[in-house]
Amino acid sequence: MDYVKDYNSINLPNRNSKLQEILNRLGNELEAIRFVSKQAWQSITERFLVKILEQQEIRIAQESISEHIRAKELLENRENTNSQSNQQPKPDQT
């Protein structure tokens, strides 16, 4: 810096100048807006594009579905057996 004779003649802005505070605040607000808009966009895509997070998925194994059908069939068979036994005539108790 040979072209500057005196270093005191250089006017550098203060570290905590008003402009710096405004720019910091603006940067923080923009970062907050970016975060909120990202969260809002994810919410919209989940709702309208049926994007479900893996943690929220309810997965049912194929075996359990088959077990449900098997249990239903067993219940129907028992009901049929009970209804048939109720329809048989009882011997007289004379």
Tens-digit pLDDT profile for residues 10-60? 676 666 788 888 999 999 999 999 888 888 888 887 777 776 666 777 777
pLDDT at 61 over 80: no
User: SS3 string of the chain?
Assistant: CCCCCCHHHCCCCCCCCHHHHHHHHHHHHHHHHHHHHHHHHHHHHHHHCCCCCHHHCCCCCHHHHHHHHHHHHHHHHHHHHHHHHHHCCCCCCC
Q: Is the pTM of this model over 0.85?
A: no
Q: Is residue 5 part of a domain?
A: no
Q: Which domain holds residue 53?
A: 15-83
Q: Is residue 74 part of a domain?
A: yes
- Are 10 and 4 in contact by the 8 Å Cβ rule? The answer is yes
pLDDT score recorded for residue 25:
92
More confident residue, 20 or 91: 20
pLDDT score recorded for residue 91:
61
Q: How many independent structural domains does the chain possess?
A: 1
Mean pLDDT of 59-75: 78
Q: Is residue 91 part of a domain?
A: no
Q: Is residue 62 part of a domain?
A: yes
More confident residue, 5 or 36: 36
Burial label, 51 (beta-carbon count in 10 A; 0-12, 13-18, 19+): exposed
